[in-house]
A and B are shown apart, each in its own frame.
Chain A
Amino acid sequence: MADPIVVAEGLHKSFGDVQALRGLDLSVPRGTVCGVLGPNGAGKTTAVRILATLSDPDAGHARIAGHDVVREAGKVRARIGLAGQHAAVDEKLTGRGNLRMFGRLYHLSRREAHRRADELLERFGLMDAADRQVAGYSGGMRRRLDLITSLILRPEVLFLDEPTTGLDPRSRGEIWDSVRELVADGTTVLLTTQYLDEADRLADDIAVIDHGRVVAAGTPDELKATIGDRLDVVLEDPAALRPAATVLNALAGTDPTMTGADRLSVALPGGGLRLADIVRELDRAGVAAADVSLRRPSLDEVFLRLTDRKEVL
């Protein structure tokens, strides 16, 4: 792994009585996508705001490409791009007008700003809408314009704060494609999201944060492995629910959850159990199963487990 380009150590931040961050540590290797996953209010946005120099931490420190976000904010700003939950562009201007204006504010020459605007519009498929007012753009187009506005300076690190929240599936797919292209160029991306499939698809590493702290980190596969495989059983007769639950409890060591009138689900402790063993145990207890399946957990289940929320049936 290359050296980390984003480093956060022991970040604390409070707003009045609310502790948004309580010792957040983060390290993102250059050229990778780090997915910061957490429920609402976990501190994702606060963390991004500190890393993007918009907010100062109460304690701890953070560096981008070796520059401290508080003491060397100017150097950090020249290396980052930020695209947020809101499409932070001027709705009264055209798409091209926005890119040109922000290009000028990034201190590109007039010619360079115009050239860069055209280049980005072309590459990210907004050329047809370039001269239309942003107020008339669809949600997905706005978000894409917001994204490419943060790419004007070819940032080394791009912060995407919930880039697809509220978008329809097709627009989400388009944003994902854009992010993949950037990563292919070598940009490091730090992405916050509450969508697990988003993190699963895009991120090399995931940091799950809850209550302002990282509660788990690793690749999506590593995280899934931490909670073991998942066993789903569908019964022929719903009346057999109770004996079936007893069998599953004996196998897994925890109570299964009801996922339907005739089905149960339980997390199995790491490895050792084969499907055949499970079927035999059910048979012995006189439980007729219509379907028994063993699968990797979804990231949703990992997330719910790690963030200590009640499992959703």
Chain B
Amino acid sequence: MTALAPPPGHRLRWTFTDGLTLVGRELGRLRQEPGELVSMLIFPAIMVVLFGYVFGSAIQVPGGGDYREYLMPGLFSMVTFTAVMTLMMRVATDASRGVMDRFRSMPMARLAVPFGQTGADLLAGLLSLAIMAGAGLLVGWQPHRGLIPAAEAFLLLIVLRYALGWVGVYVGLVVKNEQAADQMVPLFLPFTMLSNSFVPTDGMPGWLRFLADWNPVSAITAASRELFGNPGVPPEDAAWPLAHPVAAVLLWSAALLVVFVPLSTRAYTHKGR
């Protein structure tokens, strides 16, 4: 009996190919569960209505302007931040069901799994941003500064999403348990709320405002507002990340990647158990 020998290939190429296979896996799942796609479509609509018309009916935008114009960059940040939860759940589910062990017992590139899973999430991220943008356009939001800055804003959102995804991978690998990961999801809610996404940070008590100002969610929201030309751009004398939001988002992304890519890789290859 001869084993089917896998053709020899460059490690990097296999990491990439394996990653693409895992992206294909996500597409396959979506095809099997069209319901998931429907909820992906409905969620932004609900958020826009809930925040735009419920909160929007009572909130004054600082410096004037339409609340829904102010809100949309916040909602973009919110869906971006969900990458942490999505990937944490994905990875923890794979780990608790033994799928991760199967990957690890296979002769595949060591980095393919975390890279593939974060890569696959980018597709979901693009899709959810597109849907959210569509919902925004329907209620009167629009980018005012032209195509290039708008594209830059979406690019920044995607970059941060990718970096945040690695946080999710790491937490999922450490937790290794579907139920435990599920219970952790609500813990992430404060991260999106404790920011300038829905209300200005000016009115918060000092210590809370400090946390909100330095939250990466605030930075990406401020960057989007600036690049889309939406109201609520922080004044020059705001905290550093809000006064320089684009630089802050890039720094945050780089920092998260520098910390969590090695941590996740180590957790994935860890053989102590």
Contact = CB atoms under 8 A, between A and B. Distances in A.
Given A108-B6, A156-B3, A90 B271 contact: no
Interface string B91-133: 0000001110111111110001000000000000000000000
Contacts, number: 109
Given A105-B21, A105-B106, A87 B6 contact: no
Interface in A108-124: 108, 112, 116
B4 A112 contact: yes
B24 interface: yes
Nearest to B25: A101
Contacts of A77: 105-107
B105 A87 contact: no
Contacts of A149: 102
Nearest to A135: B32
A141 to B, nearest CB: 16
A193 B68 CA distance: 62
A104 B21 contact: yes
Contacts of A211: none
Question: Which secondary structure dominates chain A's binding surface?
Answer: loop
A89 B18 contact: no
A150 B103 CA distance: 11
A233 B87 CA distance: 63
Contacts of B64: none
Contact of A92 (B18, B33, B105): B33
Name which of A52, A85, A112, A185 has the most chain B CB atoms within 10 A of its CB: A52
A91 interface: yes
Contacts of A53: 104-105, 271
Interface string A166-190: 0000000000000000000111000
A107 B9 contact: yes
Contact of A97 (B28, B103, B107): B28
Interface of B: 1-7, 9, 14, 17-18, 21-22, 24-25, 28-29, 32-33, 97-99, 101-108, 112, 271-273
24 contacts: A53-B105, A54-B105, A54-B271, A77-B106, A78-B3, A88-B97, A88-B99, A88-B102, A90-B99, A93-B32, A94-B28, A97-B28, A104-B17, A104-B18, A105-B18, A105-B106, A107-B14, A107-B108, A116-B4, A133-B33, A153-B3, A153-B4, A155-B3, A156-B3
Interface of A: 15, 49, 52-56, 74, 77-80, 82, 84-94, 97, 101-102, 104-108, 112, 116, 133, 149-150, 153-156, 185-187
